[in-house]
Amino acid sequence: MDQLNYATLKNYESFTSINEMDQAVRGFLYKCKSSLSDGALKVLHFLWRYSVKVVGVSFAKYDTIATGVSVSRRTVIRAVKALEEMNFIKKIPTARMNGKQGVNLYVIQPFEQIDSLLQPVSPQDVTATVTPNKAENKQSSLCEKNHLNRMNVKKINQHHNQPIDLPKQAQTDEKLKPNPSMTEQQPNAAIHSVPWHQLDTSFLPNYVHKDFIQAAKAFFPVNMIHKLWTRIHLAFNKINPETPLDNLMETILFDFKQTVFKYKSGKIHSTFEGYFYKVVYSRLQVIQKQENRDNWYKQLLAGFDD
Protein backbone atom coordinates (compact mmCIF):
# COMPACT_ATOMS: atom_id res chain seq x y z
CA MET A 1 0.00 0.00 0.00
CA ASP A 2 1.15 3.54 -0.74
CA GLN A 3 1.83 5.97 2.08
CA LEU A 4 -0.41 9.01 2.22
CA ASN A 5 1.56 12.05 1.18
CA TYR A 6 1.34 14.79 -1.42
CA ALA A 7 3.55 12.93 -3.91
CA THR A 8 1.22 9.91 -3.75
CA LEU A 9 -1.82 12.10 -4.32
CA LYS A 10 -0.23 13.78 -7.35
CA ASN A 11 0.69 10.38 -8.73
CA TYR A 12 -3.01 9.46 -8.90
CA GLU A 13 -4.21 12.81 -10.31
CA SER A 14 -6.73 11.88 -13.01
CA PHE A 15 -7.53 15.22 -14.69
CA THR A 16 -5.51 18.15 -15.95
CA SER A 17 -7.99 20.79 -14.77
CA ILE A 18 -11.01 21.22 -12.51
CA ASN A 19 -13.15 22.05 -15.54
CA GLU A 20 -12.19 18.74 -17.18
CA MET A 21 -13.18 16.89 -14.01
CA ASP A 22 -16.46 18.81 -13.76
CA GLN A 23 -17.27 17.94 -17.36
CA ALA A 24 -16.62 14.24 -16.68
CA VAL A 25 -18.75 14.15 -13.52
CA ARG A 26 -21.62 15.95 -15.24
CA GLY A 27 -21.36 13.57 -18.18
CA PHE A 28 -21.51 10.58 -15.81
CA LEU A 29 -24.53 12.02 -14.01
CA TYR A 30 -26.22 12.78 -17.33
CA LYS A 31 -25.99 9.13 -18.39
CA CYS A 32 -26.07 7.23 -15.09
CA LYS A 33 -27.88 9.35 -12.50
CA SER A 34 -31.05 7.28 -12.76
CA SER A 35 -29.07 4.18 -11.73
CA LEU A 36 -27.74 5.73 -8.52
CA SER A 37 -29.41 5.81 -5.13
CA ASP A 38 -29.81 9.05 -3.20
CA GLY A 39 -26.99 7.97 -0.90
CA ALA A 40 -24.65 7.27 -3.83
CA LEU A 41 -25.42 10.69 -5.31
CA LYS A 42 -24.63 12.39 -2.00
CA VAL A 43 -21.34 10.50 -1.65
CA LEU A 44 -20.37 11.30 -5.23
CA HIS A 45 -21.02 15.01 -4.71
CA PHE A 46 -18.96 14.91 -1.50
CA LEU A 47 -15.97 13.31 -3.25
CA TRP A 48 -16.40 15.71 -6.18
CA ARG A 49 -16.25 18.77 -3.90
CA TYR A 50 -13.06 17.57 -2.21
CA SER A 51 -11.22 16.50 -5.37
CA VAL A 52 -9.99 19.92 -6.41
CA LYS A 53 -6.60 20.44 -4.74
CA VAL A 54 -5.23 17.39 -6.53
CA VAL A 55 -7.74 17.23 -9.37
CA GLY A 56 -9.79 14.05 -9.29
CA VAL A 57 -8.32 12.73 -6.02
CA SER A 58 -9.68 12.93 -2.48
CA PHE A 59 -9.36 10.96 0.74
CA ALA A 60 -11.56 10.54 3.78
CA LYS A 61 -12.73 7.97 6.30
CA TYR A 62 -16.12 6.36 5.83
CA ASP A 63 -17.32 8.00 9.04
CA THR A 64 -16.17 11.43 7.84
CA ILE A 65 -18.11 11.06 4.59
CA ALA A 66 -21.17 9.75 6.45
CA THR A 67 -21.17 12.79 8.74
CA GLY A 68 -20.59 15.15 5.81
CA VAL A 69 -23.62 13.96 3.84
CA SER A 70 -25.86 12.90 6.77
CA VAL A 71 -26.12 9.20 5.93
CA SER A 72 -25.03 6.03 7.71
CA ARG A 73 -21.56 4.53 7.44
CA ARG A 74 -23.06 1.46 5.80
CA THR A 75 -24.70 3.64 3.13
CA VAL A 76 -21.32 5.21 2.34
CA ILE A 77 -19.72 1.78 1.94
CA ARG A 78 -22.50 0.64 -0.42
CA ALA A 79 -22.28 3.90 -2.38
CA VAL A 80 -18.52 3.63 -2.87
CA LYS A 81 -18.91 0.02 -3.97
CA ALA A 82 -21.62 0.97 -6.47
CA LEU A 83 -19.49 3.76 -7.95
CA GLU A 84 -16.53 1.35 -8.17
CA GLU A 85 -18.64 -1.22 -10.01
CA MET A 86 -19.66 1.49 -12.47
CA ASN A 87 -15.93 2.17 -13.02
CA PHE A 88 -16.29 5.83 -12.13
CA ILE A 89 -14.53 5.78 -8.75
CA LYS A 90 -11.32 3.89 -7.99
CA LYS A 91 -10.59 3.21 -4.31
CA ILE A 92 -6.90 3.12 -3.35
CA PRO A 93 -5.94 1.92 0.18
CA THR A 94 -3.06 3.75 1.88
CA ALA A 95 -0.78 3.08 4.83
CA ARG A 96 0.19 5.31 7.73
CA MET A 97 3.77 6.13 8.66
CA ASN A 98 3.68 3.33 11.27
CA GLY A 99 2.62 0.80 8.64
CA LYS A 100 -1.02 0.50 9.70
CA GLN A 101 -3.82 0.93 7.20
CA GLY A 102 -4.76 4.54 6.59
CA VAL A 103 -7.65 6.24 4.84
CA ASN A 104 -8.68 5.33 1.31
CA LEU A 105 -7.96 7.50 -1.70
CA TYR A 106 -10.89 8.01 -4.05
CA VAL A 107 -9.91 8.69 -7.65
CA ILE A 108 -12.56 9.94 -10.06
CA GLN A 109 -12.09 8.24 -13.41
CA PRO A 110 -12.32 9.98 -16.81
CA PHE A 111 -15.71 9.81 -18.48
CA GLU A 112 -17.36 11.14 -21.62
CA GLN A 113 -17.72 14.89 -21.12
CA ILE A 114 -21.11 16.54 -20.84
CA ASP A 115 -20.41 18.91 -23.75
CA SER A 116 -19.96 15.99 -26.12
CA LEU A 117 -23.19 14.40 -24.87
CA LEU A 118 -25.22 17.55 -25.37
CA GLN A 119 -24.56 18.08 -29.06
CA PRO A 120 -26.72 20.82 -30.59
CA VAL A 121 -29.52 19.55 -32.83
CA SER A 122 -29.61 20.88 -36.38
CA PRO A 123 -32.82 22.45 -37.69
CA GLN A 124 -33.18 19.61 -40.21
CA ASP A 125 -33.43 17.11 -37.36
CA VAL A 126 -36.29 18.91 -35.67
CA THR A 127 -39.88 18.16 -36.65
CA ALA A 128 -42.07 21.23 -36.78
CA THR A 129 -44.30 21.50 -33.75
CA VAL A 130 -47.91 20.72 -34.61
CA THR A 131 -49.59 20.86 -31.21
CA PRO A 132 -49.22 24.27 -29.54
CA ASN A 133 -47.77 24.49 -26.05
CA LYS A 134 -50.98 24.92 -24.08
CA ALA A 135 -49.24 25.85 -20.83
CA GLU A 136 -47.17 28.51 -22.57
CA ASN A 137 -50.19 29.91 -24.41
CA LYS A 138 -52.22 29.94 -21.22
CA GLN A 139 -49.48 31.79 -19.37
CA SER A 140 -49.14 34.31 -22.19
CA SER A 141 -52.91 34.81 -22.22
CA LEU A 142 -52.99 35.41 -18.48
CA CYS A 143 -50.09 37.85 -18.65
CA GLU A 144 -51.78 39.75 -21.46
CA LYS A 145 -55.06 39.87 -19.56
CA ASN A 146 -53.40 41.14 -16.39
CA HIS A 147 -51.57 43.75 -18.40
CA LEU A 148 -54.75 45.01 -20.04
CA ASN A 149 -56.56 45.11 -16.71
CA ARG A 150 -53.91 47.50 -15.40
CA MET A 151 -53.81 49.78 -18.43
CA ASN A 152 -54.30 53.47 -18.04
CA VAL A 153 -56.50 54.10 -21.07
CA LYS A 154 -55.99 57.83 -21.14
CA LYS A 155 -52.18 57.59 -21.21
CA ILE A 156 -52.22 54.94 -23.92
CA ASN A 157 -54.50 56.99 -26.16
CA GLN A 158 -52.31 60.05 -25.73
CA HIS A 159 -49.18 58.08 -26.53
CA HIS A 160 -50.53 56.40 -29.65
CA ASN A 161 -52.82 59.26 -30.65
CA GLN A 162 -55.43 56.80 -31.80
CA PRO A 163 -58.43 55.04 -30.24
CA ILE A 164 -57.88 51.60 -28.78
CA ASP A 165 -60.56 48.92 -28.56
CA LEU A 166 -60.14 47.26 -25.19
CA PRO A 167 -61.78 44.04 -24.02
CA LYS A 168 -64.98 44.44 -22.04
CA GLN A 169 -63.20 43.57 -18.80
CA ALA A 170 -60.67 46.36 -19.34
CA GLN A 171 -63.47 48.81 -20.15
CA THR A 172 -65.27 47.84 -16.97
CA ASP A 173 -62.10 48.32 -14.93
CA GLU A 174 -61.67 51.76 -16.50
CA LYS A 175 -65.14 52.79 -15.41
CA LEU A 176 -64.40 51.66 -11.89
CA LYS A 177 -61.22 53.75 -11.58
CA PRO A 178 -61.49 56.54 -8.97
CA ASN A 179 -61.66 60.13 -9.99
CA PRO A 180 -58.31 61.96 -9.49
CA SER A 181 -60.15 64.36 -7.22
CA MET A 182 -60.68 61.43 -4.83
CA THR A 183 -56.94 60.86 -4.33
CA GLU A 184 -56.91 62.43 -0.91
CA GLN A 185 -59.56 59.97 0.25
CA GLN A 186 -57.68 57.04 -1.34
CA PRO A 187 -53.95 57.29 -0.51
CA ASN A 188 -53.19 53.87 -2.03
CA ALA A 189 -54.22 55.19 -5.44
CA ALA A 190 -51.77 58.06 -5.03
CA ILE A 191 -48.93 55.62 -4.29
CA HIS A 192 -49.68 53.47 -7.32
CA SER A 193 -49.89 56.50 -9.57
CA VAL A 194 -46.20 57.30 -8.96
CA PRO A 195 -43.98 55.36 -11.41
CA TRP A 196 -40.93 53.53 -10.09
CA HIS A 197 -38.44 55.76 -11.89
CA GLN A 198 -39.62 58.74 -9.83
CA LEU A 199 -38.54 57.07 -6.57
CA ASP A 200 -34.92 57.62 -5.54
CA THR A 201 -32.75 54.97 -3.90
CA SER A 202 -33.58 56.18 -0.38
CA PHE A 203 -36.81 54.17 -0.71
CA LEU A 204 -34.90 50.87 -0.93
CA PRO A 205 -34.80 48.57 2.13
CA ASN A 206 -31.77 48.79 4.41
CA TYR A 207 -30.61 45.26 3.60
CA VAL A 208 -29.74 46.19 0.00
CA HIS A 209 -26.00 46.82 0.04
CA LYS A 210 -25.13 50.49 -0.44
CA ASP A 211 -22.22 49.72 -2.77
CA PHE A 212 -24.53 47.76 -5.04
CA ILE A 213 -27.10 50.57 -5.01
CA GLN A 214 -24.38 53.05 -5.96
CA ALA A 215 -23.29 50.89 -8.91
CA ALA A 216 -26.78 50.04 -10.17
CA LYS A 217 -28.70 53.30 -9.75
CA ALA A 218 -27.34 54.79 -12.97
CA PHE A 219 -28.96 51.99 -14.99
CA PHE A 220 -32.05 50.75 -13.16
CA PRO A 221 -35.04 52.06 -11.18
CA VAL A 222 -35.33 51.10 -7.54
CA ASN A 223 -37.66 48.13 -8.16
CA MET A 224 -35.13 46.54 -10.54
CA ILE A 225 -32.23 47.23 -8.16
CA HIS A 226 -34.16 45.42 -5.44
CA LYS A 227 -34.94 42.53 -7.77
CA LEU A 228 -31.28 42.14 -8.76
CA TRP A 229 -30.23 42.19 -5.11
CA THR A 230 -32.70 39.42 -4.27
CA ARG A 231 -31.18 37.36 -7.09
CA ILE A 232 -27.73 37.84 -5.54
CA HIS A 233 -29.09 36.67 -2.19
CA LEU A 234 -30.79 33.68 -3.83
CA ALA A 235 -27.53 32.54 -5.45
CA PHE A 236 -25.61 33.12 -2.20
CA ASN A 237 -28.06 31.07 -0.13
CA LYS A 238 -28.01 28.21 -2.64
CA ILE A 239 -24.21 27.97 -2.74
CA ASN A 240 -23.78 28.99 0.93
CA PRO A 241 -20.04 29.75 0.90
CA GLU A 242 -18.14 30.30 4.16
CA THR A 243 -17.15 33.84 3.19
CA PRO A 244 -19.78 36.45 4.23
CA LEU A 245 -21.58 38.25 1.42
CA ASP A 246 -20.25 41.62 2.57
CA ASN A 247 -16.71 40.37 1.97
CA LEU A 248 -17.61 39.34 -1.58
CA MET A 249 -19.05 42.66 -2.69
CA GLU A 250 -15.97 43.71 -4.66
CA THR A 251 -16.27 40.54 -6.75
CA ILE A 252 -20.06 40.90 -7.09
CA LEU A 253 -19.71 44.50 -8.28
CA PHE A 254 -17.04 43.51 -10.80
CA ASP A 255 -19.37 40.86 -12.25
CA PHE A 256 -22.25 43.35 -12.31
CA LYS A 257 -20.22 45.90 -14.29
CA GLN A 258 -19.02 43.23 -16.70
CA THR A 259 -22.63 42.14 -17.25
CA VAL A 260 -23.68 45.74 -17.92
CA PHE A 261 -20.91 46.10 -20.48
CA LYS A 262 -21.85 42.87 -22.26
CA TYR A 263 -25.52 43.84 -22.27
CA LYS A 264 -24.76 47.28 -23.71
CA SER A 265 -22.52 45.64 -26.32
CA GLY A 266 -25.39 43.41 -27.49
CA LYS A 267 -23.68 40.19 -26.39
CA ILE A 268 -26.48 39.09 -24.03
CA HIS A 269 -29.62 37.81 -25.72
CA SER A 270 -31.52 36.82 -22.58
CA THR A 271 -32.80 39.10 -19.82
CA PHE A 272 -30.25 41.08 -17.85
CA GLU A 273 -31.65 39.72 -14.60
CA GLY A 274 -31.39 36.07 -15.66
CA TYR A 275 -27.91 36.41 -17.13
CA PHE A 276 -26.61 38.27 -14.06
CA TYR A 277 -27.97 35.57 -11.76
CA LYS A 278 -26.08 32.89 -13.69
CA VAL A 279 -22.86 34.94 -13.51
CA VAL A 280 -23.17 35.41 -9.74
CA TYR A 281 -24.08 31.75 -9.20
CA SER A 282 -21.05 30.55 -11.19
CA ARG A 283 -18.77 32.96 -9.36
CA LEU A 284 -19.94 31.73 -5.95
CA GLN A 285 -19.40 28.13 -7.04
CA VAL A 286 -15.78 28.95 -7.85
CA ILE A 287 -15.35 30.68 -4.48
CA GLN A 288 -16.82 27.69 -2.63
CA LYS A 289 -14.51 25.30 -4.47
CA GLN A 290 -11.54 27.46 -3.47
CA GLU A 291 -12.72 27.35 0.14
CA ASN A 292 -13.03 23.56 0.00
CA ARG A 293 -9.59 23.34 -1.57
CA ASP A 294 -8.07 25.44 1.19
CA ASN A 295 -9.85 23.46 3.91
CA TRP A 296 -8.74 20.20 2.36
CA TYR A 297 -5.14 21.39 2.24
CA LYS A 298 -5.28 22.40 5.90
CA GLN A 299 -6.58 18.94 6.79
CA LEU A 300 -3.79 17.39 4.75
CA LEU A 301 -1.12 19.41 6.53
CA ALA A 302 -2.71 18.60 9.90
CA GLY A 303 -2.54 14.88 9.03
CA PHE A 304 1.15 15.18 8.23
CA ASP A 305 1.76 16.93 11.57
CA ASP A 306 0.10 14.03 13.40
Q: Is residue 125 part of a domain?
A: no
- Look at residue 67 and tell me if it is in a domain: yes
How far, in Å, CA of 148 to CA of 164, rounded? Answer: 11
Q: Which of 93, 119, 145 is the last residue of a domain?
A: 119
Q: Are residues 115 and 25 in the same domain?
A: yes
- pLDDT (tens digit, 9 = 90+) per residue, 31-71? 898 889 999 999 999 999 999 989 999 988 899 999 989 99
Distance in angstroms (rounded) separating the CA atoms of residues 249 and 303: 34
Q: Domain of 22?
A: 2-119
**7 and 115 share one domain:** yes
Mark whether 109 and 203 lie in a shared domain.
Answer: no
Q: Does 279 reside within a domain?
A: yes
CA distance 54 to 12: 9
Q: What is the CATH number of the domain that holds 34?
A: 1.10.10.10
Q: Per mean pLDDT, which range of 42-56, 149-163, 185-199 is the poorest?
A: 149-163
Out of 72, 90, 119, pick the residue that ends a domain: 119
In a domain, 172, yes or no: no
Name the CA radius of gyration of the chain, rounded.
28
Dihedrals φ, ψ of 63, to 5°? Answer: -65, -35
User: Does the residue 87 lie in any domain?
Assistant: yes
The domain boundary, picked from 63, 86, 119, lies at 119
Which pLDDT does position 110 carry in this prediction?
A: 92
Asked if residue 149 is part of any domain, the answer here is no
Position 23, amino acid: Q
Lowest-confidence pick of 30-39, 182-191, 208-217:
182-191
* Residue 25 domain-assigned (yes or no): yes
- In the structure, how many helices (H) and strands (E) does the chain have? 14, 4
Number of domains in the chain: 2
Residue 126: the pLDDT is 45
Looking at the structure, do residues 12 and 115 belong to the same domain, yes or no? yes
Question: In this predicted model, what pLDDT tens digit does every residue of 221-268 receive, in sequence order?
Answer: 989 999 999 999 899 998 888 899 999 999 999 999 999 998 888 888
Residue 264 domain-assigned? yes
Tell whether the model's pLDDT for residue 196 goes beyond 60: yes
- Give this prediction's pTM: 0.42
Q: Counting every residue, how long is the chain?
A: 306
